[in-house]
Amino acid sequence: MSNLKLKNFIDGINGKSAAVIGVGISNRPLIRWLTKLGVTVTAFDRLEADDPSISKAKADFEAEGININWSLGRDYLDQLMNSDFDYVFKTPKMRYTEPALVAARNNGSILTTEMELFMNLCPANIFAITGSDGKTTTTTLVSELLKAQGYNVYIGGNIGTPLLDQVQDIKEDDMVVLELSSFQLLDCVTSADVAIVTNVTPNHLDFHKDYNEYIDAKTNVFKYQSPLGRVVLNSACDITYKMKELARGSISYFALDEAVARRAGESSLKTYAYLDADGFLTIEDGMGKTRLIDEKEILIPGKHNVENYLAAALAVQGYVDTEAFVKVAKNFKGVAHRIEFIREIDGVKYYNSSIDTSPNRTINTMNALHSRDQKGVLICGGADKKCDYTGLGDAILNVSDRIIIYGTNACFVKDILAKEANGRSYEVFEIEGGDEVYEFPESKEIVVQKYVEALKKAREWAKEGEIVIMSNIGTSYDHFRHFEHRGDMFRDLVNSII
């Protein structure tokens, strides 16, 4: 094994004990990996033993011959307070100040996460993308650009698959691309080799202590880089622009407007990406200017996607040539659940944008549709994250004057529509909902029927040549576990329409 750090870790953890807190998507492969390394694993989760996701995890592990211990339910952390574990892997949405984790650390446990351990053991260059909006598309773009150049690429974090159980297969000349959330970056002291911060707007304030903590978490993606590191910052966002003060490696700046991109000042040592006067995506550095592609030739719509391409271009500069960049830009169709075209029915096009888990995401989606002069019916609604809704009503009404809402943030959506209508008329059809959850067998059909009702109303309202789009303005957590569940269900329902 050429990865000496990984070899030493594997040799050292054999026969040890580990607590894994949270039995979600990323930690299940972690549990499998640890047991294969000879680790005694105890899985901790707040959910009760009869929860569908826990029942399925238990059944899957048993079918695979994986034997682990369990600590479940309301007092699931009590065992962590009273036991000694060599390693404790926390779930991203848990602070190191949690009393049970403090007790474990005081007892001598090594505290970490699946993602941070992976970043420490990975032998390849790591590209990491964070921000409030645009993370997934930008992450996918960086991955596609590197693949187009011929690299072997692993993609993970919030998208793709957890990578820790694949670290033995990753070689030094491979490339790793990660999408990282503020939860994953909170308290993280390991940074990527190349980092992008797409933008920062108020988000996840239902979890973070305040906005400053949310911002600080984002900076961890680059704050601990070596002088060889690179960070790509959005000059058009004051918050990300000011992050330059924390960078130790090189800094690249992007913005749609050339003057805004250059706000750091003229210097042959700085690198900028922007749209030039002729609408070409352009990179400028000490070697001169390089025109990449006319924005009109980019397949996916919207100025926000132009920004995503500018950020990705700076991240892969020196790794990817212009020919590969142009090939991707002309052919990349976008990411599932992001203005994803499903099908056309009776002259109406149906789109799924379930990733729109904040007002700002929906604003970007509405602006992209407005730029193509598309109009129609909006299906929205999700859980509020204490976000700023300013501008949402105007953006929606530029595209849709018929709005269907099913979600606990309905009051916020209706309020901003009323405030920003400015005399424009519109109709709202609100579907009442309670605590029904799609993943629970006893209430799954209720959720499905709510969306059947929404689609029935949308078909009644939409005219030939228009669109129907689901863009939720909030998280899925009021009725779903993940935005993918919601998007997949919506796609299935649209495809089932006869």
Tell which residue, 209, 46, 187, has the closest CA to residue 116: 187
Rounded distance between C-alpha atoms, residue 454 and residue 430, angstroms: 9
Number of domains in the chain: 3
Check residue 160 and give its pLDDT.
Answer: 73
Residue in the structure block whose two tokens are 């600080």: 216
Rounded distance between C-alpha atoms, residue 214 and residue 385, angstroms: 13
205 and 130 part of one domain: yes
190 and 317 part of one domain: yes
137 and 263 part of one domain: yes
Q: Model's pTM, two decimal places?
A: 0.79
3-state DSSP helix/strand/coil % of the chain, to nearest 5: 40, 20, 40
β-pairing verdict for 280-285 and 288-294 = antiparallel
315 and 352 part of one domain: no
Give whole-number Cα distances, 318 to 111, 139, 294, in Å: 36, 17, 21
Within 13 Å of residue 449, how many CA atoms lie on the same side as its CB?
Answer: 7
269 and 133 part of one domain: yes
Within 13 Å of residue 199, how many CA atoms lie on the same side as its CB?
Answer: 20
Rounded distance between C-alpha atoms, residue 196 and residue 129, angstroms: 5
Structure tokens at 283: 């990179």
Pick left, alpha or beta for residue 422 (phi over 0 → left; psi -120 to 50 → alpha; otherwise beta).
Answer: left
Tell which residue, 227, 209, 228, 226, has the closest CA to residue 217: 209
460 and 376 part of one domain: yes
Listed residues 112, 127, 142: the one ending a domain: 112
323 and 191 part of one domain: yes
70-90: b (≥16 Cβ within 10 Å) or e: bbbeeebbebbeebebbbbbb
The type of residue at 245 is E
- Are 483 and 476 a contacting pair, CB within 8 Å? yes
CATH assignment at residue 359: 3.90.190.20
Q: Is 10 contained in some domain?
A: no
Q: Is 364 contained in some domain?
A: yes
Q: Is 375 contained in some domain?
A: yes
Tell which residue, 155, 207, 215, 495, has the closest CA to residue 344: 495
Check residue 419 and give its pLDDT.
Answer: 97
Rounded distance between C-alpha atoms, residue 235 and residue 272, angstroms: 9
Listed residues 67, 89, 112: the one ending a domain: 112
Helix 135-148 to helix 303-315 angle (10° resolution) is: 50
Rounded distance between C-alpha atoms, residue 10 and residue 482, angstroms: 33
319 and 346 part of one domain: no
303 and 444 part of one domain: no
Q: Is 438 contained in some domain?
A: yes
37 and 155 part of one domain: no
Rounded distance between C-alpha atoms, residue 369 and residue 40, angstroms: 52
CATH assignment at residue 250: 3.40.1190.10
Q: If you ran DSSP here, which 8-state letter would residue 127 be given?
A: E
- Render each residue's pLDDT in the chain as its tens digit; 498 residues: 578 999 999 999 999 999 999 997 778 999 999 999 999 999 999 999 988 889 999 999 999 999 999 999 999 999 998 889 999 999 888 888 899 999 999 999 999 999 999 999 999 999 999 998 889 899 999 999 999 999 999 999 988 788 999 999 999 999 999 999 888 998 889 999 999 999 998 766 666 778 888 999 999 999 999 999 999 999 999 999 999 999 999 999 999 999 999 998 877 778 999 999 999 999 999 889 999 999 999 988 888 899 999 999 999 999 999 999 999 999 998 888 888 889 999 999 999 999 898 998 899 899 989 988 999 999 999 888 888 999 999 999 999 999 999 988 999 999 999 999 999 999 999 998 777 777 777 778 898 999 999 999 999 999 999 999 999 998 877 777 778 889 999 999 999 997
Rounded distance between C-alpha atoms, residue 92 and residue 187, angstroms: 10
380-412: b (≥16 Cβ within 10 Å) or e: bbbbbbebebebbbbbbbbbbbbbbbbbbbbeb
Could you tell me the residue range of the domain that residue 91 belongs to? 15-112
- Are 282 and 276 a contacting pair, CB within 8 Å? yes
Residue in the structure block whose two tokens are 């989760």: 45
Check residue 203 and give its pLDDT.
Answer: 63
CATH assignment at residue 42: 3.40.50.720
* Biggest CA-to-CA distance, the chain: 70
420 and 348 part of one domain: yes
φ/ψ (deg, to 5) at 253: -120, 140
Rounded distance between C-alpha atoms, residue 387 and residue 155, angstroms: 29
Listed residues 112, 131, 156: the one ending a domain: 112
Q: Is 130 contained in some domain?
A: yes
Q: Is 2 contained in some domain?
A: no
Check residue 76 and give its pLDDT.
Answer: 94
The continuous run of DSSP H or E covering 328 comes out as helix 322-331
Q: Is 9 contained in some domain?
A: no
Tell which residue, 210, 213, 469, has the closest CA to residue 356: 469
Rounded distance between C-alpha atoms, residue 267 and residue 275, angstroms: 19
270 and 235 part of one domain: yes
β-pairing verdict for 87-89 and 110-112 = parallel
Q: Is 439 contained in some domain?
A: yes
